[in-house]
Structure 1
Amino acid sequence: EGPPEPRKCSHCLGDGTYRCPDCFGRPLFCTSCCREIHRTHPFHRVEQWMGTHFQESSLRL
C-alpha cells in the first residue's frame, strides 16, 4: 500500500516519509515531526516509505 500523493507531513506539510500505524489515522510525518511527536510515544512502530513500500524503521532516524 502506497502513501497518498503528494506525500505531505500531517503537521508541517513537509515531505511525508514516515507513517505510524499506531497513531490514529496512520498519519504521514517528516523526519523532524516524527521524532518530536513520538518522543512521548516510544513504543509506537514507525514505518518509512522506501519508494515502493513501507518498511519498519527506527525512531533513531
Structure 2
Amino acid sequence: CEACNEAEGVIRCKSCIGFHGWCKPCVVRVHKYLPFHQLEIWAGSCYEDISLGKLGFICF
C-alpha cells in the first residue's frame, strides 16, 4: 500500500490520475470524499469492480 507501506496494495482507482495501489483501510480513508470514483480490487488473476460500501465505507 502506498499510503501505509504495511499492507499489500490490492485496490486501484480508475478515476485517480496515475497508478496507485492501496489496502482496504487506506483506500476508504483516501476516498471518503470521493465516493463516485471507480475502484477495482485484485482477484488473483484480474481486477474486479468493487464499491466503497463493500470495503466498509458508511456515508452519513
**Which range, TM-score by smaller chain?**
0.7 to 0.9
Q: What TM-score does the superposition give when structure 2 sets the normalisation length?
A: 0.81
Pairwise CA RMSD of aligned residues?
0.8
Partner of 1:16: 9
Give 2:19's match in structure 1, choosing from 2, 26, 37. 26
Structure 2 residue identity aligned to 1:48: I
Moved over 6 A (4+): none
Structure 1: where are the runs of 5+ without partners?
1-8
How many residues are treated as equivalent by the alignment?
53
State the identity as a percent. 36
